[in-house]
Structure 1
């Protein structure tokens, strides 16, 4: 079976695993009549179930860097993708890792492993702690989201690309900032400012033709909003609260990164060129028009407003 690798990129506690959990759960809830099936392997299924249970039982008011326990070791979340009831055609290999690997005190080998993940991946999903970006004029953005370090990582890895890539900027914990179209546009503006160096790099002459960049905000829980920042030993404590005492887990748009990913993959096939790493797509889609149609149906509902935006590479996301 052919494998597509995706890196969940971001420092400790930003919410990479929570995003992945909500992404899978919402895929199951939104595929509707689409003839697609996304099946986690045994280990991924067990871990996702544990994380989903944590997200569904959050207290009314709480403080966490993330909403669930941080990842303490390298983990691969593996999903088989195909038509319902049929042998899967593709394997989506999401690489998660401890965000502490970005820390200055971590051994060089950890940082090199993150570079290896990114180099092998068709897509990078950069998970963004939104309150750190938005509150107090972004006072904690550099410390928590590490945008310069993320930019340096792409500078090293995205050199002489021999095939297209998709980069998704995915703000999470963003429920507070998507209440109105005006606030959603403010969030989009702040993302462009907070990641301006990365966006400028990807928009450079060498990378613009081969890299698509999307902003896809995800309301990972949906009924939890940022409340305030408290301080402890000169470190921020981000306090969140449920919108009501009996508010239930209700994520919104968490399947959107997956819609964009599959849209991008289908476009690579339709392009008709032989790209390194993606030549197998010609065989898969060429022999299975039903799978191609199912992915097209799922991918057509990619959002492009309300804080969502294609910053560049729209040609890599257009389906004819």
Structure 2
């Protein structure tokens, strides 16, 4: 089984684990439409199940401030384990294993010591894809006043500057603005969100578009409505700390995430292209079509990757080609 590492990158409270949970849940909602399967191990299913329960009960009362950060047992990097997804065709053995690494967000934003810093750097370097979770209300509300305090873009940009130096193999970077329900309801708002991302992450995008990286890094913007029925309302500032408040438009509305499967679709599309271009004896396997079932299964799943209405392939379209 071919294994791939993916790093969930973002600050504390941004919602990395919530994104992963909604991504998996929404795939399960679409499973009957596809020939592809995604299995999890017991630990992953348990942790995602707990987060899913929290998401479904989000904002049950007016004082709810959102999902609590993932609790990590211990602080030793050796104790952190990945969320595991195994991918294949229904009725057949899985062929691809996805290891999603989600570690404490403060490790990206604070002085954490040499051991943890080295751990984070290694995870980014060995990951074929990076999902950058962006807190959308912090990015957009109050003219972005709290963006740096919540999302810490400079620290994230610094990580890439170090880790992508002399990059040898292709990478996928997904910029995923989450909790974006209030900012994707019309074309004007969606364009404003896209423009704001490009503005605030311009230094990072310029790095990816440099001569050394332009043909090695695919970059995609995929806004996801993490919960779907809860919209940003206002910021309650206490002791110079913002508390982002949300509310339901309809008191009876249920958990209904939207577009959370899009990062997974793009990820599998990229990984399939990588898998087909690097496997042993690729020419002969193409000739006998040994991989055709997996290729077709993922192509069917990823055929409706969105590239409009706020979704955009910023660069690297050739790295996403599975034809």
TM category (shorter chain) comes to over 0.9
Shift of 1:33: 3.0
Structure 1 range deviating more: 55-64 or 186-195: 55-64
- Find the aligned partners of 2:310 and 2:63 in 1 and give their Cα distance: 26
Please name the residue that 1:61 is paired with: 62
Match of 1:187 among 172, 189, 193: 193
Match of 2:204 among 186, 190, 198: 198
Match of 1:152 among 158, 161, 167: 158
- Find the aligned partners of 1:306 and 1:201 in 2 and give their Cα distance: 25
Contact 1:31 1:298 in 2 (8 A): no
Contact 1:71 1:99 in 2 (8 A): no
RMSD: 1.8
Please name the residue that 2:296 is paired with: 293
Please name the residue that 1:304 is paired with: 307
Matches within 5 A, 1:6-17: 6-17=6-17
Shift of 1:115: 1.0
Match of 2:265 among 236, 259, 270: 259
Q: 1:280 to 1:32 in 2, by over 3 A?
A: farther
- Find the aligned partners of 2:230 and 2:61 in 1 and give their Cα distance: 9
Normalised TM-score (structure 2): 0.92
Shift of 1:105: 4.0
Please name the residue that 1:3 is paired with: 3
Question: Does 1:315 pair with 2:318?
Answer: yes
Question: Does 1:233 pair with 2:239?
Answer: yes
Contact 1:3 1:92 in 2 (8 A): yes
Structure 1 range deviating more: 32-41 or 121-130: 32-41
Contact 1:34 1:297 in 2 (8 A): yes
Please name the residue that 1:46 is paired with: 46
Contact 2:15 2:69 in 1 (8 A): no
Q: 1:115 to 1:105 in 2, by over 3 A?
A: closer
- Find the aligned partners of 1:62 and 1:155 in 2 and give their Cα distance: 40
- Find the aligned partners of 1:51 and 1:305 in 2 and give their Cα distance: 30
Please name the residue that 1:218 is paired with: 224
- Find the aligned partners of 2:149 and 2:122 in 1 and give their Cα distance: 24
- Find the aligned partners of 1:34 and 1:192 in 2 and give their Cα distance: 33
Normalised TM-score (structure 1): 0.93
Contact 1:62 1:240 in 2 (8 A): no
Question: Does 1:114 pair with 2:117?
Answer: no
- Find the aligned partners of 1:296 and 1:39 in 2 and give their Cα distance: 18
Shift of 1:291: 1.3
Shift of 1:167: 0.2
Q: What are structure 1's unaligned runs of at least 5 residues?
A: none
